[in-house]
Structure 1
Amino acid sequence: MAAEALLAALDGEQRSLASRPFADEAARRWIEYRPRARPGVCIADLDRTARKATYRLLATALSPAAYAQAMAIIALEEVLDRKESWTRGRHSNDYWVTVFGEPGRDTPWGWRFEGHHISVTMTVVDGVVSPAPIFLGANPHRVGYAGGTVLRPLAAEEDLARALLEAMARPDRLAAIVADEAPEDIHTATHRSAGKPLEPRGVAASRLGPGARAALDRLVTLYLDRLPPELAGREYARIASGEQWFAWEGPTRPGGRHYYRVQGEDLLIEYDNTTDDGNHSHTVLRRPHGDFGGDVLSTHRATDHA
């Protein structure tokens, strides 16, 4: 098991930093995608074996495509450091890993890999994996040369949403655009709960024509496909029967500061590109009822008490 292999690769002090009780709710229910202090052990302090074990653990939570996005985001820390004239000491090893509980036991456990613009949390209860939140961001969102693109890790997240707007009939597009200006950040930010549905909800999927509905399905699938196939398939089956809503905030012209979200009963996707003149993006896949394993923990406790 990747989590056990990671813990075995750590020395005593590193393991004490990386290991937290599952009951430590303050540390476990946590999402922080800014360059801030955070729980865990920093991979900058790990040897090659432990660092590789950390990345192997991260790879268990992501599809090959999403893992490539994560690696590009990590590399962008060095690009951003240069862009900022090396003033903030950013570096591609400023990522942290934490394991909650004891992997491989019958009791609940989980882990998180996190740093600037990445936060991936997995919770395992009774052998069932609950995969959320998953945050990926990019600063810069796009690196260009001579009018072309050198690197744009979150390209599809922007392009598919724009294609959805283009596929909508005019009345549906007007309903979807709920604000003329984009927010400063994703609305749920670093809140430990995704909370109640965001309002206004925008346009309902059931109202869309076939082309726009297919475009919305492609957008949702993109986010679910951040997960390995077995998890992505289960998550899609879970949300497919419920209503979904799409909302856009800000101008629709390319290059402007913009934001969108997709939400359902237990689904929240948020995207923003609202700072650095629309060249700094955030994306997150959350589950209002299932973040940090809330769904599987509720089932476990009900069964255990029964």
Structure 2
Amino acid sequence: MRAAAGALLTALDEPARQRARHDFDDEPARRWLEYRPRPRPGISLADLDGAARKAAHRLLATALSPAAYAQAMAVVALEEVLDRAEGWRRGRHSGDYWVAVFGDPVRDDRWAWRFEGHHLSVSMTVVDDQVSPAPIFLGANPATVRHAGRPVSRPLGPEEDLARELLDALGPAGRTAAVVADDAPADIISATRPTAPGRLDPLGVPRGRLTPTGRALLDRLVALYLDRLPPELAAREAGRLAGGELHFAWAGPAGPGQRHYYRIQGDDLLIEYDNTTDDGNHAHTVLRRPASDFGADVLAAHRAAAH
């Protein structure tokens, strides 16, 4: 990751490098999550030459597993699909993704970076060569593109299908505990806040109350989100969560093609999914660590060791 970030900065000319780089202590710019089409810190891929764009994608690939990188690239490509569906009115394009580096990845013991645009935000913080990997947001609009009733594109299909399988496996009593509202919220509740809420009520159903099949499906769903990370980071995060209690909550109807939402909460874990606009064809997903987003965990350990 350090080598890829250094290669990116080397590939930029001086004006582009100045736009891409920020001070690590620039908290408003560093603690940033924005998945809507808005101005954002950094430099746009559209303003880079081919070598620099490739360097930005290589940096992104250090933070994601091959499957999650494929999802991210599908999300980027959907900008062109969405622009066509909207009659080309908003000028969306797949180059409207931005990369920002905070601090000096070659020399500093504290640095961070982000790759972000519409429906994609990946933030990584590195302190003393420990990587803190969150938040990670992936969205899709349209969530599904179909031809003759069959999906042609469905980047976040596994996140929906596995959660529905879990909901079905809960049985009547389990679903009663898990479904916390008849209507889904308008968006993920943590939204674009720089600090995610540590707890969202009602919690839903605890893992300990599930059947063995339900527990296995919930574990698979959590693993699906953790496996957005490279294997070594995913394994570390799974180990951190081992033994803690998880809760699963659902809002909205259970049937496909309707507006729905779910979340999973655990010790320093918040996973949210919603598909609540465009008649259930516009999905948002996020993996957050409420107490550790944007490197709060590794920064606290660094301060304790240094002082």
Same fold (TM over 0.5): yes
Q: How far is the alpha carbon of 1:135 from its aligned partner?
A: 0.1
Partner of 1:224: 226
Answer with 193-202 or 135-144: which moved more: 193-202
Partner of 1:249: 251
Cα deviations across residues 98-133 of structure 1 (Å, max 9, x unaligned)? 000110334210100000000000000011000000
Q: Aligned letter for 1:226?
A: R
Q: Output the CA distance in 1 between the equivalents of 2:264 and 2:198.
A: 13
Q: Aligned letter for 1:47?
A: D
Selected match of 2:268 from 266, 269, 273: 266
For the pair 1:15 / 2:22, whether they are aligned, the reply is: no
Answer with 169-178 or 91-100: which moved more: 169-178
Partner of 2:109: 107
Q: How far is the alpha carbon of 1:265 from its aligned partner?
A: 1.4
Q: Secondary structure of 2:234's partner?
A: helix
Selected match of 2:120 from 118, 121, 133: 118
Q: Output the CA distance in 2 between the equivalents of 1:35 and 1:47.
A: 22
Selected match of 1:142 from 141, 144, 164: 144
Cα deviations across residues 164-198 of structure 1 (Å, max 9, x unaligned)? 00111321111000000000000000001112300
| Aligned residue-pair number | 305
Contact kept? 1:169, 1:209, Cα under 8 Å = no
Query: Where does 1:57-68 land on structure 2 (aligned, <5 Å)?
Result: 57-68=59-70
Contact kept? 2:141, 2:282, Cα under 8 Å = yes
TM-score (norm 1): 0.99
Contact kept? 1:136, 1:284, Cα under 8 Å = yes
Could you list the structure 1 runs, at least 4 aligned residues long, displaced by more than 2 angstroms after superposition.
104-107
Selected match of 1:46 from 45, 48, 53: 48
Partner of 2:135: 133
Q: Secondary structure of 1:136's partner?
A: strand
Q: Output the CA distance in 1 between the equivalents of 2:171 and 2:82.
A: 39
Q: How far is the alpha carbon of 1:85 from its aligned partner?
A: 0.2
Structure 1, unpaired ranges of 5+? none
Contact kept? 1:121, 1:292, Cα under 8 Å = yes
Q: How far is the alpha carbon of 1:8 from its aligned partner?
A: 0.2
Query: Where does 1:30-109 land on structure 2 (aligned, <5 Å)?
Result: 30-109=32-111
RMSD over equivalenced CA pairs, Å:
0.6
